[in-house]
Homo-oligomer: A and B are copies of this chain.
């Protein structure tokens, strides 16, 4: 009879339906309560959502609960990713390509400084604390500190209603360029290490191809998208169905996220580009016809899926990995390098654009830092992983500190800017 029960239960859909349902129920509830608590303390609610995840992940083993079916669930991972995609789509909708171009040079300067300086500092941490190891490993440590994860910052800016401010545009533009640069750095260094291991060097052609794909996507999305989207949506308004604009906009967002992945970029870069080229002004006619605005359509989707993303980010944190004493010094040095490296960005931002706020906005490494560390753990050099378990724990520490520290620091800095300009 047990087999039958499993078959009846499981076949009402996929075997992972029960764990996803239970996970969603508790993640949504926990995220809301954690967010509420932190809001009452004057802190950003996203910190409460991250904290809920950290708390769940680290209390569950003490209570004898096993959360791995949830954290390892493919569907839960994809739902979290969809949350990040919708968040960045929403963020992109608040700006236009023209507004982004206007801050383009400044954003490029911030991104370049914010990739190069952390790389140098991370390399130096490796040279000083792990002198016996190869320069290639030191270089990989540096690369791990390069890429910003823009989700946290985007959420804080969005909650504070600051997405339309020029400094926010510099941060968002820099984050997109940062993603391209981080991809290049990772590809080049991994190529060098793989080449050193296998004897086959990374050709210049390989690097050019990576750059070509990323830029083709970005330019293509902005130019073709800006040209196509007004025409497409004007056509859509000829349709009678409910929610045509919402459906078309989401399709467009998912398509560009997929194209970004094909170009080797993060899907959220595609979602952001999709948001940029869609202008709310195209949708005025839609609202005049009694439909929900795109903004109102997105809000409930964001309220459902974005907490899944942030709670899941917290769930990945195992605080026990910081307990080893030797690891802690290495971890704190790496974290200091990660923070100092991005704070230097403030030097290339003029005073009117809130330099400290911009630099703080670039701090979080989030899931991107974990991805880099994971790739390093899988790369072998002379029979050893490039990122050994100690270095991996240090990377996780760096990610956790930069990610958790950003929301309160960013909020503090924005309030300080507001007082200064008042």
Instruction: List the interface of chain A (C-beta within 8 A of B).
Output: 1, 4-5, 7-9, 11-18, 20-22, 24-26, 28-29, 31-32, 35-36, 39-40, 45, 74-75, 77-82, 85, 183, 186-187, 190-191, 194, 202, 206, 239-244, 246-248, 250-252, 254-255, 257-258, 261-262, 264, 266-267, 292, 296-301, 303-304, 307, 371, 374-375, 378
Contacts and interface: CB of A to CB of B under 8 A. Distances in A.
A187 B78 contact: no
A149 to B, nearest CB: 11
A78 B1 contact: no
Contacts of A32: 239, 241, 243-244, 247-248
A243 to B, nearest CB: 4
B250 A28 contact: yes
Contacts of A15: 74
Nearest to A23: B254
14 contacts: A1-B187, A8-B187, A9-B264, A12-B266, A18-B258, A21-B85, A21-B257, A24-B254, A28-B250, A243-B303, A297-B300, A297-B303, A298-B300, A301-B304
B5 A303 contact: no
Contacts of A78: 13-14, 16-17, 20, 75
B45 A8 contact: no
A5 B255 contact: no
A19 B255 CA distance: 11
B247 A29 contact: yes
Contact of A301 (B16, B40, B267, B301): B301
Given A21-B257, A292-B300, A264 B5 contact: yes
B303 A186 contact: no
A245 B283 CA distance: 28
A28 B81 contact: no
B244 A17 contact: no
